[in-house]
Amino acid sequence: MKRMRLNLSTVFLVALAFLLPDNVAAKSIKARKPNIIFIMADDLGYGDLSCYGQTHFRTPHLDRMAAEGKRFTQYYSGSTVCAPSRCALLTGYHTGHAYIRGNSPGADNALRPDDVIVSEILKSAGYTSGVFGKWGMGDLDNSGAPLKKGFDQFLGYMAHRHAHKHYTDYLYRDGEKVSFEKPVYSHDLIVKESLRFIRENRNKPFFLYLPFAIPHAGMEAPEEELNRFEGKFPEKPWRNERSTYVAQDKPYAAFAAMITRMDRDVGRLFQLLKDLGIDRDTIVFFTSDNGPHREGGADPAFFNSAGGLRGIKRDLYEGGIRVPFIVRCPGKIKPGTSDHLAAHWDFLPTAAELAGVAAPKGLDGISMVPELLGKKQKQHRYLYWEFFERGFQQAIRMGEWKGFRPRPDAALELYHLENDPSEQTNVAEAHPQIVKQLETLLASARTDSSLWPTTHRKK
């Protein structure tokens, strides 16, 4: 596999385009490194925002972000479940090379000391970093704790399973457990902390990572938000005594309420940036960690959460991995729509270039800064995923073609996404040369992992 080689002079020149003020004649204004905010919803599907086709409710603030920034139509998550997707985002490696390749409890899901992540890269460039939301990359007593990986502040959930409950009686702040007298709606507290972090760091470059826990199950939202959707949906009360998710009488209303509350808070974040005078110094990313789920009463079919794509969370079809992706920075990023092929592992090299520092060599990711600036963009030869919960599965995207192998001994399925974005017709027999080309790439796209063997399901 060919590895990316960075041209440091190019890094400097492209980063300079972000650092210079909009009016370059105003020489008295001192250039600064851009603030970087990365917002990641949990299990938000490609069709769950109104700017991506949602019709059952509106997301006006994210719609405005899309109108003022760049909306991507061919962007992919790092995986089809939480932990490996976050690992790809933070490390710049896809699941064929990343250490964390699936959801697994314990030390297997902890970043190692030698796993360099984006916060560590930005710290070397003088950034103050905070993460507020669902971490899931380690615990307080191992090498994956947030404050051991370049972050200066943390508030939220350490573990994925804890985040099943949006009303919780405890969270973690930095290195300590914080208990509450009565359950709090965690999202509201996470947003409050993120806004505080912005205010306190407005005079220096900062990196804010917001891995929100919504709209992941369970389906819970504050009463005032639920009331907005009273009687609007044909509710199906949800109960399961064996589940960690909370039983719900109005899961449809809760689903819509969670997303609209998140949308409201994205609007609050943008308003704060404007009030502080740093809106044009801040580049904001928004996406999801994987496709939509049907847990805890969620109904992705009713809401068309996958946007007409095949599959949902835990599928390597498009609906499980293609996600919304919006990037905004007034005066720097020209508004529009992009069909550039990109994925979570592109974020680390992108952030490094924005900060004016070199990314580690050998990453799977490619900086998207040229695409954001309307310049000539280097393209991926292919994108690759592997998944273990249903036995070893692989997927590959090469240009307009998509290959999927449901199990190691299965023939490769082939889909022509330009004509068949919902992957309804397997055209492998009609295009043997494309299949052969993808098979060759699949053979070299990954390295073996003792933690994630291909021969049996990972427990």
Tell me the DSSP string of 293-357: ---TT--HHHHTTTTT-S--TT--SHHHHB--EEEE-TTTS--EEE---EEGGGHHHHHHHHHT-
Contact predicate 192/240, CB 8 Å: no
83-102 pLDDT per residue, tens: 999 999 999 999 999 999 99
The Cα–Cα gap between 104 and 376 comes to 40
Residue 39, SS3? strand
Predicted pLDDT of residue 242: 85
Architecture, CATH, for domain 386-444: 2-Layer Sandwich (3.30)
Instruction: Find, among 397, 296, 316, the residue nearest to 101 by Cα.
Output: 316
Contact predicate 305/48, CB 8 Å: yes
The Cα–Cα gap between 287 and 45 comes to 10
Predicted pLDDT of residue 6: 42
The Cα–Cα gap between 96 and 394 comes to 9
The Cα–Cα gap between 291 and 105 comes to 21
Backbone angles phi, psi at 315, to 5 degrees: -110, 145
The Cα–Cα gap between 33 and 128 comes to 12
Contact predicate 323/437, CB 8 Å: no
The Cα–Cα gap between 47 and 49 comes to 6
- Tokens 């051991």, residue located: 148
Spatial neighbors of 65 by CB under 8 A, at least 6 apart, are 266, 270, 284, 286, 326, 328
Architecture, CATH, for domain 8-380: 3-Layer(aba) Sandwich (3.40)
Both structure tokens of 28: 């008295």
The Cα–Cα gap between 319 and 408 comes to 21
23-56 pLDDT per residue, tens: 443 332 346 899 999 999 999 999 999 999 999 9
Both structure tokens of 446: 């990954």
Put simply, whether the predicted model's pTM sits higher than 0.85 gets the answer yes
Radius of gyration of the chain (CA): 21
Spans of the chain, pLDDT less than 70: 1-31, 105-108, 456-459
Residues belonging to the chain: 459
The Cα–Cα gap between 141 and 148 comes to 10
Helices (H), 95-247: 118-124, 186-200, 223-226
The Cα–Cα gap between 269 and 198 comes to 9
Instruction: Find, among 311, 320, 266, 315, the residue nearest to 288 by Cα.
Output: 320
Q: How far is CA 46 from CA 77, 263, 324, 326, 390, in A?
A: 11, 15, 5, 12, 23
- Residue boundaries of the structural domains of the chain: 8-380, 386-444
